[in-house]
Each structure stands twice: as structure tokens, then as C-alpha cells.
Amino acid sequence: MTAPAKASRVVPPGEATARTRGPYRSSTPADVALLLLGACFLLPLLWLVLASLDADASHETRVPAQAGLENFAAIMTPALLLQPLWNSLVLSTGTAAVTLVAAVLAAYPLSRYRSRFNTPFMYTVLFGTCLPITAIMVPVYGLFVQLELLDSMPATILFMAATALPMAIWMTRNFMDAVPASLEEAAWVDGASRMTALRTIVLPLMRQGLGVVFIFVFIQAWGNFFVPFVLLLSEANQPAAVSIFTFFGQHGAVAYGQLAAFSILYSLPVLALYVIVAKGAGSPFALSGAVRG
Amino acid sequence: MAAQTGVRGLLRYLPVLPAVVLLAVFLAGPVLWALHASFTNAGLTGRNARNPDWIGLENYQRLLVDPVFPLSLGLTVLFVLGSAVLGQNLLGLALAVLMRRARRAVSAVVGTTVVAAWVLPEIVAAFAAYAYFSRDGTLNQLLGGLGLDQPDWLYSWPMAAVVLANIWRGTAFSMLVYRAALNDVPSEVAEAAQMDGAGGWQRLAYITLPMIRGSIATNLMLITLQTLAVFTLIWVMTAGGPANASSTLPILAYQEAFRFGDIGYGTAVATVLILIGAVFGAVYIRLLRESKR
């Protein structure tokens, strides 16, 4: 459970830099080796950027003969770009909101009360994070058929929230443990109920942590392809991850440039959110585990 | 009185309920449904979709006879060992070690590149990898430039292509885990070893690696679980082909259920995958509990 455990510990930037300055800094062979490895990682990404600017892009990586934004202009249509991105937004925001509310409610008793129930519950939840989600998609499809929930946006949101919950409960409880209980006790003396104290005192104090959990779940949902691919069938409901696959799976042979342009526009929101979390939470660690098939 | 405190105790845990219901309906439910459905002849369409018959162990007997299943199991092991245990794990460690020795700017740039491949939505990463390995893609451009053979990777060497693509996609996770772990190794220890005349490799093998063995174990478990579940990357690059040459268990389960319409058999494959995940999950939780003691 490295991710949630580390997420709650915000390392002051000064401390981290002092530690990394070991006895061996700035060696040129290490620079060269690292740059070579970095180049290998960069190449596939480079194709994406160059092809998006090239009106007759192919699979080749090459500097466009005439760089321009034609590809971006070509995909800027409501049906092709805006509707899928809107669906992605609804799906991801809904998933993150449901997850956050359920995780906060569940984390409160687990963080504040001592009970024999806590440890087994937390380990059961942790076990849930280990479940290969792709393996349960066939059974989930069967379940959705039986309950007549196929192609239902709310049901898909609830399912995606359930898959994100185990990790979210762990992270939220760690953030909540960091808020001292003594702060609430003053409020109880004034007659506030547990839930009022949670809302008015605990949550505002952990809002940064809540932001991390929200963004973490949002990024996961935004990038998810397989779940909406199986559960959302009609074009009107499909998020960008699926529409990009179905559209370019059928017409892709000619439109690599547009594919790359669409991919970039679709990726920008999560790249931006990642930067926010990595900066704000002190450590990019908060996002470990964000990629699960 | 005792009953009253019992009721109060239960009431205090009421906020956990929404999370428990979500997890029960959408995670535990499908897993149990999978166990059940794998003993039936449930179909995607037709009569067997509405009223599946109980056929006992027939699906599992078919697994043993079907030549594709052992092939798929072997490919899954190859994929996990090659891309996660060896590829991501060792490359992530190498990157983390090199980053401590390289100049700060170099390590920041390379780190960002590696993380970018990991933060991108999975479908975008899959398209980029597909373009990179395709017949006239970047890799063959490079090989051609060196005067080497240019095979059609996705057709002739599909497993090599998806293993390399998954290393490219997932190494960032191991790199982040090992960077954090190495930061926690006090620099005094390394300095003392250096005074005693230990070389770089000796320090790594006898001091650093033993000190971070907990992180190594955790990382191996987590990337194994993540890699077991990889679907999108392989689906976009090869769709499991040619002729099942790259169909790992998630791909096989999907194909059987949705391409050939045999939900019962597909669910049996998925159940095997869930069981493998459960074994690794149980080992992971054991490791974690022991390290907490």
C-alpha cells in the first residue's frame, strides 16, 4: 500500500533535495546513459506530436513538410470531439464525486473509532484493490444484462466508483488520520453532532488530501477504455476513449494525423491535472497505481 | 444494556454502508456471479442468454482440452515476467539509480518523459505504441537507418512488441517507487561504505538493495497485478493475434465471451484470472502485514 501511505506524508521540498544530494552527483556517464534511455521513451511520444501537425501523416516519425493545424481543425466538430469529451467529463466527474462521498463517509468511522472491525475491513478493502478489473468485465457485463443496466451512464458511474473505492478509502483514511481528533472534540462540547463536526471541521482541514483523491479517481476514469467499451454501447453515451477507438478503428487507415490530434486534445486534461497533483501534493507518489488496465 | 451498546456501535458504523453496498454489488457480486456462470452455458445472444443451463465442470474440462488455453496461460506468464518482473522492475531501478548520479536538469527531463508515457490515457499510449511498432513505424525507420532487417513486428514478433510496449508504458511506476525508496536510504550509510572502499556496484548490491528490499517486494507484487490485467494495450496493438499468438488471459476471456458469444466459457477463463490475481493479492497483503509488525 505504498501509494496511500506515502500520499499522506507531505515532504517539504527542502528536505528532499538535501537528501538526494548524495556523495556522487553530476557524473557525465550517468547523464549519457540516462539521456539514451530517455530518448527511447520519447520516440513514441514524438510521433504523436509530429503526426498531429502533419496533414499527411503516416506511421513514420518525420518532421512535417508543412506543419499546420489542419488536423485539429478537421476534428473540431461537435459529433466527433465535443460530445465524446463531454461524455468523458460526465463519466469521470460522476465517478470521482460518488467515490469521494462514499470514501469520506466510510473513512470517518474507520479513522475515529477503535474496533475489532477496522483492521479486517481495511485488509478486505485492500484485497479489492488487487482484483484484476479486466477479469471481472465479462461477469460485470453479464450482471448488467440481467439487471438491464447496459448502456446506462449512472450504472457505469457506480461501477467505476466501486472499482476506485478501495484505493480511495485507503487514501482518505490516511489523510483523515492526519487530522487530530482533539480539534473535533471542541465542537462536540458545543453540541455539534459527529457528522456536523466532520463537515465543518475535519473536511476543510483535509481539503488538499480530498483534492488528491478526487483528481486521482478522475484521471483513472478519464483514461479508462475497457469499462466503457464493454458497458456503454450507444454512440451518444461513449466517452472519448471509446469513440476514438471506434472511429479510427474504422476510418483510421487514412487519418493518422487526425488520430494524433484527437489523442493530444483528449490527453491534455489529465496531463494538466497530473501536474497539479504532483506539484500540490509534494510527491508524484499520490498517483501511483493510477494505471490499472 | 449490552444490546444497546451493540446497536449504538452498529449505528456509529452506518456511514460505511454506502461504500459497502457499492463494493458488494459491483465487485463482490460480479466475482460470485462469475463463479456461478462459469458452470453454465450462458451465451451472449439467443436462448442461452436468457435461460442458461447448469453444465457443471464442462467449461473447466474444456479449458484443459482447448489448446488455446495453455498457450494463453503461457503467454500471460511470459508477458508478466518479461514486461513487469524483468523489464519494468529492472529498468525502473536502473533509472532511479542513474537519476541520483546524473545532473539535476537531465534527471528532471528524463523523469518527465518516462512519467508522460505512464500518465497518458491507455488508449492513446496504445495508439502511439501501435504506430511505433508498425511496419513503416519509427522502430523500423531506426533499424533501416542502421542497415538492419525491418520485420513486421506486430505480425512476426507480436509478443516482443507488446512486452516492449508495456515496459515503455509502465516503467514510470517502478521508477517512482524506487526513487522514493532510495531517498529514504540515509546517505551516511553509503558514505561510510565508500570510506571502507566499496565500489559503486558493491554499494548497490550489498547495501542499497538489501535496505530497500521491502519496496522491491511491494513493487513486484503491484506491477505483477497491474500487468496481469493489461487489456487495452494488447487489444489495440495486435487484438491477440495473429492466430492467438499474443492473446493473454484477459484477451482470451474477452474473445470467448464477446467474439464467440460464449459467456460461460469466457467467464471460466476470467475466473482463472481472478484466482491468479487473488493468490498474488493474498501474498501481497501478507507481505504488507509482516512489514508492519
Tell me the domain boundaries of chain A: 2-23+74-287
The shortest CB-CB distance from B98 to any of A19, A30, A158 is to A30
| Confidence label for B184 from pLDDT (cuts 50, 70 and 90) | confident
- Give the whole-angstrom CA distance, residue B105 versus residue B125: 25
Average pLDDT across chain A, whole number: 80
Contacts of B248 (CB under 8 A, 6+ apart): B72, B75, B76, B79, B230, B234, B240
| Confidence label for A255 from pLDDT (cuts 50, 70 and 90) | confident
Q: Assess if CATH 1.10.3720.10 describes domain A2-23+74-287.
A: yes
- Work out the number of other CB atoms within 10 angstroms of the CB of residue B272: 21
- Give me the pLDDT at residue A285, please: 45
Q: How far is CA B268 from CA A136, A147, B17, B261, B275, in A?
A: 11, 21, 31, 13, 11
Q: Which residues of A236-254 are buried (b: 16+ CB within 10 A; e: fewer)?
A: ebbbbbbbbbebbeeeeee
Tell me if B119 and A274 make a contact (CB, 8 A cut-off): yes
- Give me the pLDDT at residue B293, please: 60
Averaged over B139-146, what is the pLDDT? 86
- Give me the pLDDT at residue B4, please: 56
Radius of gyration of chain B from its Cα atoms, rounded to whole angstroms: 24
Q: Where are the beta strands (DSSP E) in B126-275?
A: none
User: Any bridge partners for residue A54, and if so which?
Assistant: A67
Angle, alpha carbons A91-A93-A94 (nearest 5°): 65
Tell me if A24 and B100 make a contact (CB, 8 A cut-off): yes
Averaged over A1-28, what is the pLDDT? 45
- Give the whole-angstrom CA distance, residue A293 versus residue A130: 12
Q: What is the pLDDT of residues B234-255, one digit of tens each?
A: 998 988 878 888 999 999 999 8
| Confidence label for A155 from pLDDT (cuts 50, 70 and 90) | very high
Q: Above 70 in pLDDT, residue B69?
A: yes
Indicate the domain borders of chain B: 68-292
Dihedral sign, CA of A227, A94, B117, A257? Answer: positive
> Which has the minimum average pLDDT: A58-62, A171-175, A274-278, B255-259?
A58-62
Is the model more confident about A105 or about A119? A105
B68-292 CATH fold: MetI-like fold (1.10.3720)
- Contacts with A58 from chain B: Cβ below 8 Å: 136
- Give me the pLDDT at residue B292, please: 65
Average pLDDT across chain B, whole number: 86
- Give the whole-angstrom CA distance, residue A48 versus residue B112: 16
Averaged over B100-117, what is the pLDDT? 89
Q: Above 50 in pLDDT, residue A3?
A: no
Percent of chain A with pLDDT over 70: 84
- Contacts with A195 from chain B: Cβ below 8 Å: 15
Closest residue, chain A, to B51 (C-alpha): A146
**Do A258 and A76 meet the contact criterion of CB atoms below 8 Å apart?**
no
User: Any bridge partners for residue A67, and if so which?
Assistant: A54
Q: Above 70 in pLDDT, residue A10?
A: no
Q: Which value does ipTM take for this structure?
A: 0.86
**How close, in Å, is residue A282 to chain B by CA atoms?**
12
- Give the whole-angstrom CA distance, residue A49 versus residue A72: 12
- Give me the pLDDT at residue A88, please: 94
**Residue whose cell numbers read 494525423:** A257
| Confidence label for B189 from pLDDT (cuts 50, 70 and 90) | confident
| Confidence label for A23 from pLDDT (cuts 50, 70 and 90) | very low
| Confidence label for A218 from pLDDT (cuts 50, 70 and 90) | very high
Q: Which helix (H) or strand (E) holds B130?
A: helix B122-133
- Give me the pLDDT at residue A90, please: 95
| Confidence label for A251 from pLDDT (cuts 50, 70 and 90) | low
Tell me if B168 and A44 make a contact (CB, 8 A cut-off): yes
- Work out the number of other CB atoms within 10 angstroms of the CB of residue A146: 12
Averaged over A96-106, what is the pLDDT? 94
**Do A197 and A187 meet the contact criterion of CB atoms below 8 Å apart?**
yes
Q: How far is CA B209 from CA A9, A66, B188, B202, B206, in A?
A: 23, 51, 15, 10, 7
Q: What is the DSSP secondary-structure string of A143-155?
A: HHHHTT-TT-HHH
Amino acid letter, residue B206:
Y
- CA–chain centroid gap for B205, Å, is 27
- Give me the pLDDT at residue B260, please: 84
Q: Above 80 in pLDDT, residue A177?
A: yes
For residue A156, what is its C-alpha cell? 457505469
- Work out the number of other CB atoms within 10 angstroms of the CB of residue A195: 11
**How close, in Å, is residue B231 to chain A by CA atoms?**
6
> Which has the minimum average pLDDT: A167-171, A198-202, B74-78, B129-133?
A198-202
Tell me if A130 and B277 make a contact (CB, 8 A cut-off): yes
Averaged over A4-8, what is the pLDDT? 38
For residue A179, what is its C-alpha cell? 487530522
Nearest residue to A257 via CA among A43, A45, A47: A47
DSSP A235: T
Tell me if B229 and A133 make a contact (CB, 8 A cut-off): yes
**Do B276 and A129 meet the contact criterion of CB atoms below 8 Å apart?**
no
Question: For the whole model, what pTM was predicted?
Answer: 0.85
Q: What is the pLDDT of residues A28-70, one digit of tens each?
A: 888 899 999 999 999 999 988 988 888 777 777 777 777 778 7
Closest residue, chain A, to B15 (C-alpha): A105
The shortest CB-CB distance from A135 to any of B119, B128, B273 is to B273
